[in-house]
């Protein structure tokens, strides 16, 4: 222990660190709940309107209040690629190759962007869940060392003298675990939801490719 620093300062710093971890954890939990709920709502509305459209032109021009969410952005990327491909066919290397493969690549790139947005913050939750108990344990060890030092100085080893400081030191470990548990549970829950939404996006990409192929609207080489 650095003796030029008061032990109380280091121990208090541990508690404040755990407090910051807790605030970050619950902020991320609330944000991810909002994000996944909004994505589900937007995807459900867009998916229904998209497949109820009479043709691709109507699906392309859905109103802005419907064309929102990850699936809508993937569809918009696909329509944008097809428009640019038809206008720039044979003029740019970007559109040279098998049109179906180029369109699929464009859709997959956009899907990866959506996946990154869904998974944002999960690494932080995992890090807090894995480190918070050790931060708490660090505070406990320092607290016990400080308590033992005080006990030595007092010259008394009675239970009343020993139990209080050590009990206070163990609080840090309890707080560390209390911070870690919600972070770990939230990480596992949101990771599962992200995988579910990714599966839905993959299915949409396959379906979009199918209707694009059926309509024969790929840009020509």
How would DSSP label each residue in the chain? Answer: --TTS-HHHHHHHHHHHHHHHHHHHHHHHHHHHHHHHHHHHHHHHHHHHHHHSSSHHHHHT--TTTS-SHHHHHHHHHHHHHHHHHHSTTT-GGG-S-HHHHHHHHHHHHHHHHHHHHHTTHHHHHHHHHHHHHHHHHHHHHHHHHHHHHHHHHT---HHHHHHHHHHHHHHHHHHHHHHHHHHHHHHHHHHHHHHHHHHHHHHHHHHHHHHHHHT-PPP-
Query: pLDDT category, 219, cuts 50, 70, 90?
Result: very low
Tell me whether residue 221 is in a domain.
Answer: no
Tell me whether residue 135 is in a domain.
Answer: yes
99 vs 88: which has the higher pLDDT:
99
Domain boundaries, position 134: 7-51+84-215
Q: State the pLDDT at residue 97.
A: 66
pLDDT at 189 over 50: yes
Tell me whether residue 68 is in a domain.
Answer: no
26 vs 163: which has the higher pLDDT:
26
Tell me whether residue 69 is in a domain.
Answer: no
Per-residue pLDDT reduced to its tens digit, 31-54: 999 999 999 999 999 999 998 888
Task: Give the residue carrying structure tokens 């505070």.
Answer: 139
Query: pLDDT category, 90, cuts 50, 70, 90?
Result: low
Which of 130, 139, 135 lies closest to 171 in space, CA to CA? 139
Task: Give the residue carrying structure tokens 């996946």.
Answer: 115
12 vs 137: which has the higher pLDDT:
137
**Number of separate domains in the chain:** 1
Tell me whether residue 190 is in a domain.
Answer: yes
Q: State the pLDDT at residue 3.
A: 46
44 vs 140: which has the higher pLDDT:
44
Averaging pLDDT over each range in 41-50, 53-62, 94-103, 133-142, which range is the top one? 41-50
Tell me whether residue 67 is in a domain.
Answer: no
73 vs 166: which has the higher pLDDT:
73
Q: State the pLDDT at residue 193.
A: 94
Q: Which two tokens stand for residue 58?
A: 């109507």
- The arithmetic mean of pLDDT across residues 186-192, rounded, is 96
Listed in sequence order, the residues at least 6 apart from 197 whose beta carbon sits closer than 8 Å to its beta carbon are: 36, 39, 40, 43, 70, 118
Query: pLDDT category, 101, cuts 50, 70, 90?
Result: confident
Tell me whether residue 44 is in a domain.
Answer: yes
Q: State the pLDDT at residue 195.
A: 93
Which of 120, 126, 79, 124 lies closest to 103 in space, CA to CA? 79
Tell me whether residue 101 is in a domain.
Answer: yes
Q: Which two tokens stand for residue 165?
A: 């400081």
Rounded-to-10 torsion of CA 208, 209, 213, 214: -40
Using CA atoms, how far apart are residues 31 and 100, in angstroms rounded to an integer? 37
Per-residue pLDDT reduced to its tens digit, 7-32: 667 777 888 999 999 999 999 999 99
Per-residue pLDDT reduced to its tens digit, 202-218: 999 999 988 887 765 55
Rounded-to-10 torsion of CA 27, 29, 33, 35: 60
Query: pLDDT category, 138, cuts 50, 70, 90?
Result: confident
Q: Average per-residue pLDDT in the chain?
A: 84
């Amino acid at each position: 222990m650095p003796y030029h620093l008061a032990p109380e300062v280091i121990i208090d710093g541990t508690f404040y660190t755990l407090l910051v971890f807790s605030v970050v954890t619950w902020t991320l939990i609330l944000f991810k709940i909002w994000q996944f709920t909004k994505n589900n709502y937007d995807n459900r509305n867009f998916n229904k309107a998209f497949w109820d459209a009479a043709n691709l032109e109507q699906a392309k021009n859905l109103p802005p209040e419907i064309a929102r969410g990850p699936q809508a952005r993937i569809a918009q990327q696909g329509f944008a690629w097809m428009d640019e491909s038809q206008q720039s066919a044979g003029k740019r290397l970007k559109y040279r190759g098998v049109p179906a493969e180029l369109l699929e690549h464009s859709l997959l790139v956009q899907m990866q962007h959506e996946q990154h947005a869904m998974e944002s913050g999960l690494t932080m939750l995992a890090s807090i869940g894995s480190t918070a108990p050790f931060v708490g344990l660090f505070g406990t060890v320092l607290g016990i060392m400080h308590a033992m030092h005080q006990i030595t100085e007092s010259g008394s080893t009675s239970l009343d003298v020993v139990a209080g400081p050590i009990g206070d030191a163990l609080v840090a470990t309890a707080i560390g675990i209390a911070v870690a548990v919600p972070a770990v549970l939230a990480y596992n829950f949101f990771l599962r939801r992200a995988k579910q939404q990714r599966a839905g996006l993959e299915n949409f990409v396959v379906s979009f490719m199918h209707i694009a192929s059926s309509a024969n609207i790929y840009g020509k080489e």
